[in-house]
Amino acid sequence: MGEYGTWFAHPSGGTGSYSYKWYADYGLGWGGPYGHQASYTDRMMPVEDYMAMDLRVDVTSGDQQASDVYLVICLDCFGGQMSALIYPNPAEDFLNVIIEDKESYSMNSTLKNKKTDDPPKQQNEFGDDIIYTLYNNYGQVVYNKKTKKKRIQINTGNLQKGHYILKIINKDSVISKQIMIK
């Protein structure tokens, strides 16, 4: 059980090449170092009603060292009411987002003689608004749209190359996905 996440360190300054050490604490104390690259992938474990961990990265360059500690919480790890298909990733000119309502796929097991192999036909809109927000690497909003549409296309042609976070919110569901623009 658990969802995987990937985190990236983007240090600046220093006097030489960078070395990295990643540590994780799931509430039992710091363990590690688990990774020695600029990025780190790990599984988030369940803690009460969400998945969380403390994540620390130590970066060394020459005789300088810096550490950052983050509380990482996965709000959408337990399913929520929707899922998202996001492509292409990495994106160049456009990013397509298709939202699927997970409730529409649930089938009543008491139905007899009804074909349930195919999912029901998807509607193009939700009853409630969906908020699509794209954040750059500095946490700045570079795209924000509020709509009922389940399918959108985001123009990424004017964005700088790099890592972004797409956050999708609908009622009690939150999806956060890392996006790469090339």
Do 92 and 41 fall into the same domain? Answer: no
Q: For residue 93, is pLDDT > 80?
A: yes
Encode pLDDT of 19-65 as tens digits: 999 988 877 778 888 888 888 887 766 554 455 677 888 888 888 88
- Evaluate whether 35 touches 63 at the Cβ level (below 8 Å): no
Residue 118, classified by CB atoms within 10 Å of its CB into exposed (0-12), middle (13-18) or buried (19+), is exposed
Do 28 and 89 fall into the same domain? Answer: no
Cα separation, 70 vs 66, whole angstroms: 14
At residue 169, the pLDDT reads: 83
For 8-27, what is the mean pLDDT?
Answer: 82
For residue 152, tell me if it sits in a domain. yes
Residue 153, classified by CB atoms within 10 Å of its CB into exposed (0-12), middle (13-18) or buried (19+), is exposed
Bridge partners of 66, per DSSP, are 59
Q: For residue 2, is pLDDT > 60?
A: no
Encode pLDDT of 131-164 as tens digits: 899 988 777 889 999 999 989 999 999 999 988 8
**How many domains does the chain fold into?**
2
Do 67 and 89 fall into the same domain? Answer: no
Bridge partners of 71, per DSSP, are 54
- Evaluate whether 88 touches 40 at the Cβ level (below 8 Å): no
- Evaluate whether 53 touches 7 at the Cβ level (below 8 Å): no
Do 64 and 7 fall into the same domain? Answer: yes
Q: What is the dihedral of CA 47, 51, 54, 56, to 10 degrees?
A: 150
Collapse the DSSP code of 160 into the 3-class scheme (helix H, G, I; strand E, B; otherwise coil) and give the result: coil
Nearest residue to 63 (alpha-carbon basis) of 22, 20, 15, 17: 15
Helices assigned H by DSSP within 15-75? none
Do 42 and 88 fall into the same domain? Answer: no
Q: What domain range includes position 8?
A: 3-74
Paired tokens of 56: 């620390």
| 73 vs 30, residue with greater confidence | 30
Do 173 and 87 fall into the same domain? Answer: yes
Do 96 and 176 fall into the same domain? Answer: yes
The share of the chain scoring above pLDDT 70, in percent, equals: 71
| 92 vs 177, residue with greater confidence | 92
Average pLDDT, the chain: 76
For 69-96, what is the mean pLDDT?
Answer: 76
Do 28 and 95 fall into the same domain? Answer: no
